[in-house]
Structure 1
Amino acid sequence: MKKTLAALICASTIMGGAMAENIVRTPAPGNFPISTVVEVPSAVKTYYLSGVVPAKQEDGTFGNTEAQTVSVLKGIEAQLKAKGLEMSDIVKMQVYLVTDPAVGKMDFDGFMKGYSQFFGTEAQPNTPARSAFEVKALYLPEWFVEIEVIAVK
């Protein structure tokens, strides 16, 4: 009986460790670079990153939606690296987009051009489950993009 119990405890420990590495991502149809579902085992550590906004460019502006998206994702990447994480560890993303006056509406195409440099690439194929919202404004009127993420390890 003691040997059976010890074997069960050992097996559950091994299985628990294996499950922590088995994050399952269900890709969106048509190669759209998001996951429709991300399954995360309970044994992982979860990180919630607050919304990140763009940094000023060298010219003193924040740039267009694409440039702001790249800036925000680089900021997220730096925060993740500080915690020993990578962009591939992101499982959920919420995106807030404001109307770009140059476009006259939310510039989803510009966002996707920036986003696609970080997700769904050959070098980094992992894609998060993602929502994108158009919002009236962010704190500074020059900000068109804010992104918050959940990452796991």
Structure 2
Amino acid sequence: MKTLFAGLLMTTTLAVHADEIKRVPLPNSNFPISLAVSVPPQTELLFVSGLLADVHDPKAPKDSFAAYGDTATQTTSILNKLKNVLKSQGLDLGDVVQLRVFLVGDPSKGGKLDFFGLQEGYTPFFGSAEQPKKPARTAVQVVALPLPGGLVEIEAVAARKR
């Protein structure tokens, strides 16, 4: 019952300020994501399809993990791509309200996802002094991505007032 009440209280709190995007921080945390993000009714949403990394090392064998880099390198590549997609739509990373991150288990880490590498590539883009806004985010491990050699795929939702 206590959890249900807290959830209702949070929903009510988010609904009260429906004139702008509200980001609910994680309690007692400086982790670079929001617990929740509320988007007002008069908002246009931009859904960005999953983005994959560009080739990092053209001398490495094509479709190898070495060709695209480690998790941190791929995350940085993808978030730079995302910046460009957003810019082409008149938006920036501060307009991102949700990210979904798909991680392949890194063979150099025994097939486990490299969450530290994700954070290393991610934190310069979100929750930093330069760009302090934090989106809601989910990160999950998947068996494979459509890009052989890909360790990371990221899709995004961005919002702007109409």
Contact 1:27 1:33 in 2 (8 A): no
Q: Distance in 1 between matches of 2:81 and 2:35?
A: 25
Aligned to 2:69: 63
- Gap runs ≥5 in structure 1: 1-17
- Count residues in correspondence: 134
- 120, 137, 140: which one pairs with 1:113? 120
Q: Distance in 2 between matches of 1:117 and 1:123?
A: 8
Q: Distance in 2 between matches of 1:141 and 1:110?
A: 19
Contact 1:65 1:145 in 2 (8 A): yes
1:137 aligns with 2:144: yes
**Larger deviation: 129-138 or 58-67?**
58-67
Rg larger for: 1
Q: Percent identity, aligned pairs only?
A: 43
Q: CA deviation at 1:28?
A: 1.3
Amino acid at match of 1:49: V
- 75, 78, 97: which one pairs with 1:72? 78
Taking structure 1 as the reference length, what is the TM-score of the superposition? 0.84
Amino acid at match of 1:93: L
Q: Give secondary structure in 2 for the equivalent of 1:45.
A: strand
Aligned to 1:150: 157
Aligned to 1:12: none
Matches within 5 A, 1:44-55: 44-55=43-54
- Gap runs ≥5 in structure 2: 1-17, 60-66
Aligned to 2:41: 42
Amino acid at match of 1:72: I
Q: CA deviation at 1:140?
A: 2.4
Amino acid at match of 1:25: R
Q: Give secondary structure in 2 for the equivalent of 1:72.
A: helix
Q: CA deviation at 1:143?
A: 0.1
Q: Distance in 2 between matches of 1:82 and 1:103?
A: 36
Q: Distance in 1 between matches of 2:68 and 2:127?
A: 25
Amino acid at match of 2:151: F
Q: CA deviation at 1:58?
A: 4.3
1:123 aligns with 2:130: yes
Superposed CA offset, 1:97-118 (max 9, x none): 0011111210010000000010
Contact 2:52 2:147 in 1 (8 A): no
Q: Give secondary structure in 2 for the equivalent of 1:102.
A: helix
